[in-house]
């Protein structure tokens, strides 16, 4: 599902650089990425999601070389195939919960926003324990609630690949299990792939594979 | 596009203070020139239509503008008085129909116009309720006056004293309302019409009192001769003209020497008008003759010159407002960088961002237009009164 080869990435002014000789995730696999802050975990997700492009090397998702697509192509590919749970939720304060969940449909125009999608969004929110908060603005929510809204937004289009950056980081233990259950169920139901960055070592046993990014960087590949 | 408008509306309704400020700025800066133009158009219409329909005015030499404004709009500024003889002189020329006008006194804030029945025919004024002026002390109300003072035929209206503390001055006269005119949407709607003689009675030039030859109270008699009886100031003058006392009202001296403010001269034809104007060109004549159209045209030219200055000021303010709005949007874009980044990350194209921002601007402009339209409608509905307040009174 994901394949990275001879990738080099660095920010123009920063000292950070990322070198990956070889990295791959097979279809349906649930992979956890761990590692200290600043090791490049979020950068990896952004590279796979086509939000940033490598200086060198190749990133392919579902046999499509993401780094070779132009700006528009990368965006369209991301909307159609990837569900992204961002580390800082990336919700819009002026929209309510339901509008935030449906926002990708509204602004990309790639998918039609019909009654079925709305009902599915409401059901998903209910499943995540925020069904009674659909009309509340994002800035009125707690951290945990915001995180669940962000997860709903990522899962709603039933993506082939879910990239999750600390999806359970701000949740209490009960909700953590519940959200992860839902995330895994979604992956299994839609034969999707999960690449999740996490600091929560208690949850690691539920993943198929764990990638320690510090070791990964040191050893240059798996 | 509907989705963009929806998201833009959500943002606008969330940022209420910013939206309200922008809407207020745009609405007001658009409203100012539009309403000013509206008022000027209305003032031009009002001033010119009445001026054009009044061919010539004869009055005392002095301010032609005061003379015209007093004669056709019954303005507050009273021109130098002339005598009724001026009206007779116009009549003697056989070139025009003279309509004497005496606009000096007021009743409950409304001008009392002393004139003749020719005035009503000349202006095409018809009585909607009651009857036309017939007797001394009768008055006919303009349509708006009747509404404002809530009077109907059969009621009374008292003229206002000129000065409260001048015991020798003009005393109030209780007039009988005999008719109400149809609405004409002109200054006539705001006037109280009486016969010329009634206005002279208001002024005290004519009066009614007991027959002094039959008075037995010696304190009321100043001097008594075989042919004349002179009464003291103690003698009671009637403050109301009734069927019982109407015969006692009389005028001392020649009526032709009694005051009026102007004579509207309606020439029989264009040539007569030109000849009549020529007669007043001589420096020996103590009156002037003016064409209201020319006087009002001069006034409008001045107003439009002022309007041009105002336009320039408004343009500068509008430019400053537009620049301020551009600044607000630019700063807002900087503040919204994170949000824009989020939208990009979610897969939005650059064109969609532009569409979202354009939708926000469109909605703000639309709301501003609605507010501006409402304000303009408000001004439009009061334009008639506003013009009278600003330009005439």
Q: List, for residues A53-68, the tens digit of each pLDDT value.
A: 888 899 999 889 988 8
- A101 pLDDT above the threshold of 50: yes
* Tokens 């009061």 -> residue: B382
Q: What is the dihedral of CA B261, B265, B266, B268, to 10 degrees?
A: 160
Q: How far is CA A112 from CA A105, A108, A158, B46, B117, in A?
A: 7, 10, 14, 59, 79
Cβ separation of B10 and A79 shorter than 8 Å? Answer: no
- A200 pLDDT above the threshold of 70: yes
Give B3→chain A minimum CA distance, Å: 6
8 A C-beta contact, residue B176 and residue B198: no
- A123 pLDDT above the threshold of 50: yes
Q: What pLDDT does residue A221 have?
A: 46
* Cα four-point dihedral sign A115, A119, A122, A128: negative
Give phi and psi for B24, each to the nearest 5. Answer: -60, -45
* Tokens standing for residue B40: 């000027």
**pLDDT tens-digit map of B242-252:** 888 888 788 88
Contacts of A106 in chain B (CB under 8 A): 3, 6-7
Give B316→chain A minimum CA distance, Å: 35
Average pLDDT rounded to a whole number, residues A172-176: 78
- Rounded Cα gap, residues B136 and B241, in angstroms: 7
Whose CA is closest to B321, among B12, B5, B21? B21
* Mean confidence (pLDDT) of chain B: 87
- A211 pLDDT above the threshold of 50: yes
- B95 pLDDT above the threshold of 80: yes
Contacts of B3 in chain A (CB under 8 A): 106-107, 109, 113
**Site from A48, A92, A95, A112 to mutate, B interface, most B CB atoms within 10 angstroms:** A92
DSSP letter at B173 equals -
Whose CA is closest to B63, among B386, B300, B298? B298
Sequence-distant (≥ 6) Cβ neighbours of residue B211 within 8 angstroms = B248
Cβ separation of B342 and A106 shorter than 8 Å? Answer: no
Q: What pLDDT does residue B160 have?
A: 87
Of chain B, the percentage scoring pLDDT greater than 70 comes to 95
A 10 A CB-CB count for B335 gives: 9
Average pLDDT rounded to a whole number, residues B84-97: 94
Residues of A with CB under 8 A from a CB of B: 51, 72, 75-76, 78-79, 84, 86, 90-95, 99, 103-104, 106-110, 113, 137, 153
Give A132→chain B minimum CA distance, Å: 20
**Site from A77, A78, A106, A137 to mutate, B interface, most B CB atoms within 10 angstroms:** A106
DSSP letter at A137 equals B
* Mean confidence (pLDDT) of chain A: 85
- Rounded Cα gap, residues B240 and B225, in angstroms: 30
* Tokens standing for residue B105: 């006194």
- Integer-rounded Cα Rg, in Å, for chain A is 17
8 A C-beta contact, residue B36 and residue B304: no
* Tokens 């008022």 -> residue: B39
- Rounded Cα gap, residues B385 and B380, in angstroms: 10
Q: What is the dihedral of CA B57, B61, B67, B68, to 10 degrees?
A: 50
Long-range contacts of B369-373 (CB under 8 A, 24+ apart): B369/B27, B369/B30, B371/B23, B371/B24, B371/B27, B371/B31, B372/B26, B372/B27, B372/B28, B372/B30, B372/B31, B372/B34
| Predicted TM-score of the model (pTM) | 0.69
Q: Which of A147-151, B231-235, B368-372 shows the lowest per-residue confidence on average (mean pLDDT)?
A: B231-235
* Tokens standing for residue B275: 């000849």
8 A C-beta contact, residue B104 and residue B261: yes
Sequence-distant (≥ 6) Cβ neighbours of residue A139 within 8 angstroms = A93
- Rounded Cα gap, residues B159 and B257, in angstroms: 23
Cβ separation of A79 and B347 shorter than 8 Å? Answer: yes
- A222 pLDDT above the threshold of 50: no
A 10 A CB-CB count for A112 gives: 8
**pLDDT tens-digit map of B50-80:** 899 999 999 999 999 999 999 999 988 899 9
Give B16→chain A minimum CA distance, Å: 11
Residue B89: pLDDT band (50, 70, 90) is very high
For B26-88, the DSSP string reads HHHHHHHHHHHHHHHHHHHHHHHHHHHT--EEEEESS-HHHHHHHHHH--SPPPPPEEHHHHH
- B281 pLDDT above the threshold of 80: yes
- Rounded Cα gap, residues B138 and B194, in angstroms: 6
- B228 pLDDT above the threshold of 60: yes
Q: Give the largest Cα separation in chain A, rounded.
A: 50
Helix (H) / strand (E) containing B260: strand B259-260
- B223 pLDDT above the threshold of 90: no
Please report the beta strands in A81-217, taking only residues with DSSP state E, as ranges in sequence order: 82-85, 161-165, 193-197, 209-212
Contacts of B18 in chain A (CB under 8 A): none
Whose CA is closest to B198, among B249, B254, B145? B249
A 10 A CB-CB count for B164 gives: 8
Average pLDDT rounded to a whole number, residues B142-164: 88
**pLDDT tens-digit map of B107-147:** 999 999 999 999 999 999 999 999 999 998 999 999 999 99
Average pLDDT rounded to a whole number, residues B175-192: 92
- B360 pLDDT above the threshold of 70: yes
* Tokens standing for residue A51: 């939000």
- B101 pLDDT above the threshold of 90: yes
């Amino acid at each position: 599902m994901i394949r990275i080869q001879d990738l080099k990435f660095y920010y123009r002014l920063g000292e950070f650089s990322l070198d990956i000789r070889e990295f791959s995730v097979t279809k349906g696999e649930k992979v956890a990425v761990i590692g200290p802050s600043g090791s490049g975990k979020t950068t990896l997700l952004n590279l796979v999601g086509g939000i940033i492009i490598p200086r060198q090397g190749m990133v392919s998702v579902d046999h499509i070389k993401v780094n070779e697509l132009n700006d528009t192509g990368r965006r369209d590919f991301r909307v159609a195939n990837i569900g992204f749970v961002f580390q800082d939720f990336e919700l819009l304060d002026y929209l309510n919960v339901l509008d935030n969940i449906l926002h990708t449909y509204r602004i990309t125009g790639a998918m039609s926003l019909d009654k079925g999608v709305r009902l599915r969004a409401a059901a998903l929110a209910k499943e995540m324990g925020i069904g009674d908060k659909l009309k509340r603005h994002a800035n009125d929510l707690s951290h945990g609630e915001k995180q669940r809204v962000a997860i709903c937004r990522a899962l709603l289009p039933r993506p082939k690949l879910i990239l999750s950056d600390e999806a359970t980081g701000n949740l209490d233990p009960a909700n953590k299990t519940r959200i992860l259950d839902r995330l895994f169920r979604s992956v299994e139901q839609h034969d999707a792939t999960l690449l999740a960055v996490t600091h929560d070592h208690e949850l690691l046993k539920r993943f198929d594979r764990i990638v320690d990014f510090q070791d990964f960087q040191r050893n240059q590949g798996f | 596009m509907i989705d963009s408008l929806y998201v833009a509306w959500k943002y606008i309704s969330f940022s209420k203070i910013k939206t309200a400020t922008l809407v207020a700025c745009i609405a007001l800066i658009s409203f100012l020139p539009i309403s000013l133009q509206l008022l000027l158009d209305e003032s031009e219409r009002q001033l010119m239509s009445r001026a054009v329909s009044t061919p010539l005015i004869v009055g005392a030499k002095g301010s032609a503008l005061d003379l015209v404004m007093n004669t056709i709009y019954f303005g507050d500024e009273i021109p130098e008085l002339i005598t009724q003889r001026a009206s007779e002189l116009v009549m003697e020329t056989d070139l025009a129909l003279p309509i004497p006008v005496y606009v000096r006194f007021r009743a409950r804030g409304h001008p009392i116009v002393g004139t003749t029945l020719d005035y009503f025919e000349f202006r095409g004024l018809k009585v909607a309720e009651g009857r036309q002026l017939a007797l001394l002390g009768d008055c006919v109300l303009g349509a708006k006056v009747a509404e404002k003072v809530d009077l109907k035929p059969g009621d009374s209206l008292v003229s206002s004293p000129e000065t409260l503390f001048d015991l020798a001055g003009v005393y109030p006269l209780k007039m009988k309302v005999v008719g109400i005119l149809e609405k004409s949407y002109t200054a006539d709607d705001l006037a109280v019409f009486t016969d010329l003689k009634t206005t002279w009675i208001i002024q005290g030039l004519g009066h009614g009192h007991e027959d002094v030859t039959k008075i037995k109270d010696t304190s009321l008699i100043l001097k008594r001769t075989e042919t004349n009886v002179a009464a003291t100031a103690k003698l009671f003058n009637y403050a109301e003209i009734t069927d019982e006392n109407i015969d006692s009202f009389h005028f001392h001296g020649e009526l032709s020497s009694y005051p009026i403010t102007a004579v509207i001269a309606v020439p029989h034809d264009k040539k007569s008008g030109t000849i009549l104007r020529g007669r007043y060109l001589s420096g020996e004549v103590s009156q002037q003759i003016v064409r209201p159209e020319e006087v009002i045209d001069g006034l409008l030219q001045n107003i439009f010159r002022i309007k041009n200055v105002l336009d320039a000021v408004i343009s500068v303010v509008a430019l400053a407002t537009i620049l301020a709005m551009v600044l607000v949007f630019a700063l807002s874009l900087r503040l919204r960088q994170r949000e824009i980044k989020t939208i990009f990350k979610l897969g939005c194209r650059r064109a969609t961002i532009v569409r979202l921002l354009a939708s926000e601007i469109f909605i703000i402009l639309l709301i501003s237009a609605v507010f501006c339209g409402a304000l303009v409608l408000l001004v439009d509905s009061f334009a008639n009164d506003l013009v009278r307040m600003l330009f005439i009174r």
